[in-house]
Amino acid sequence: MQIKSLSEDLNFALKARDQTRVDTLRMLLSELNYKKIELQKDLSEEDILGVIKKEAKKRREAIESFKMGGRQVQADQEAAELALLEAYLPKQSTKEEIKKQILEMGEIKNLTDFGQIMRVVAPRFKGTADGAMVAGVVIEILGQK
């Protein structure tokens, strides 16, 4: 994905008067620009995905906070933004897919320490699964041993 395609999507959203999409894409492009300034170089595909993941995580946390505070309207707004951001991320693995892949990994069979298993498992799911979900599955598997 390139910043150019995000800018084109922003133009389409402006023409369609889709305010949620406009606001979300403007925020994302702004964050990407900040990252570019921080790194002092053009952003790679991995850098762009990292920024999108970070923003999606912020939305997930905000949704939980708003729900706990009884502010459903704001939670719904954050959920709409999250859905837009997730459209730009690669397909995420489900909990069942993660568990199946971990159980098929031969190199973890003799490991019993959470940290050791995560060192082996985490790199395999980088970009395709949420780290917290992978950790939860590892804890679940350790509980079954």
How does pLDDT run across 29-39, given as a tens digit for each residue?
A: 999 999 999 99
pLDDT above 60 for 1: no
- What is the average per-residue pLDDT within 10-30? 92
Q: Residue 33 and residue 42: Cα distance in Å, rounded?
A: 9
Q: What is the pLDDT of residue 145?
A: 59
Tens digits of residue pLDDT in 53-111: 899 889 999 999 999 999 999 999 999 999 998 888 878 778 888 888 887 877 777 77
Per-residue model confidence (pLDDT) at position 81: 92
Count of C-beta atoms within a 10 Å radius of residue 95: 14
Please give the domain boundaries of the chain with CATH numbers for all domains: 3-86 (1.10.1510.10), 95-144 (no CATH)
pLDDT score, position 86:
87
Whether residue 45 contacts residue 56, with contact meaning beta carbons closer than 8 Å, is answered with no
Model-level pTM? 0.70
Sign of CA dihedral 82, 87, 88, 93: positive
